[in-house]
């Protein structure tokens, strides 16, 4: 499974490994490669979560951020914030 991404306007994708949990529900996971920093989540598929932060609108993300997806894949859109000239 792949998760399409748009990070600071750059399109890409992340490979997720997909399983079913003990109740048969689909669960996919992987890591998001990022420049560490504060990000705003502009859009995310339903049932997407950062494993460390949950369903955040904004937060500090690491260089290899673990992510989870329980539903259908959809675009994950992030924008880095806190840099000079960017919204804070």
* Site of interaction with other proteins (CB under 8 A): 17, 19-25, 27, 29, 49-55, 62, 66, 68, 70
Report the residue number, 21 or 85, with the smaller CB distance to other proteins: 21
Which DSSP letter does residue 54 get? Answer: B
Whether residue 58 contacts residue 15, with contact meaning beta carbons closer than 8 Å, is answered with no
- Half-sphere exposure for 79 (CA within 13 Å, toward CB): 11
Report the residue number, 35 or 86, with the smaller CB distance to other proteins: 35
The distance of closest approach from Cβ of residue 14 to other proteins in the complex, given in angstroms and rounded to an integer, is 15
How many of the other CB atoms lie within 10 Å of CB of 50? 19
The distance of closest approach from Cβ of residue 25 to other proteins in the complex, given in angstroms and rounded to an integer, is 8
The distance of closest approach from Cβ of residue 70 to other proteins in the complex, given in angstroms and rounded to an integer, is 8
Report the residue number, 13 or 47, with the smaller CB distance to other proteins: 47
- In Å, the largest CA–CA distance within the chain is 47
Whether residue 66 contacts residue 50, with contact meaning beta carbons closer than 8 Å, is answered with yes
């Amino acid at each position: 499974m792949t998760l399409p991404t748009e990070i600071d306007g750059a399109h890409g994708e992340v490979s997720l490994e997909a399983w079913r949990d003990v109740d048969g529900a689909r669960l996919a996971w992987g890591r998001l490669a990022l420049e560490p920093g504060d990000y705003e989540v502009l859009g995310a598929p339903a049932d997407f979560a950062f494993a460390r932060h949950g369903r955040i609108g904004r937060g500090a993300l690491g260089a290899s951020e673990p992510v989870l997806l329980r539903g259908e894949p959809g675009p994950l859109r992030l924008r880095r914030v806190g840099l000079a000239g960017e919204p804070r």
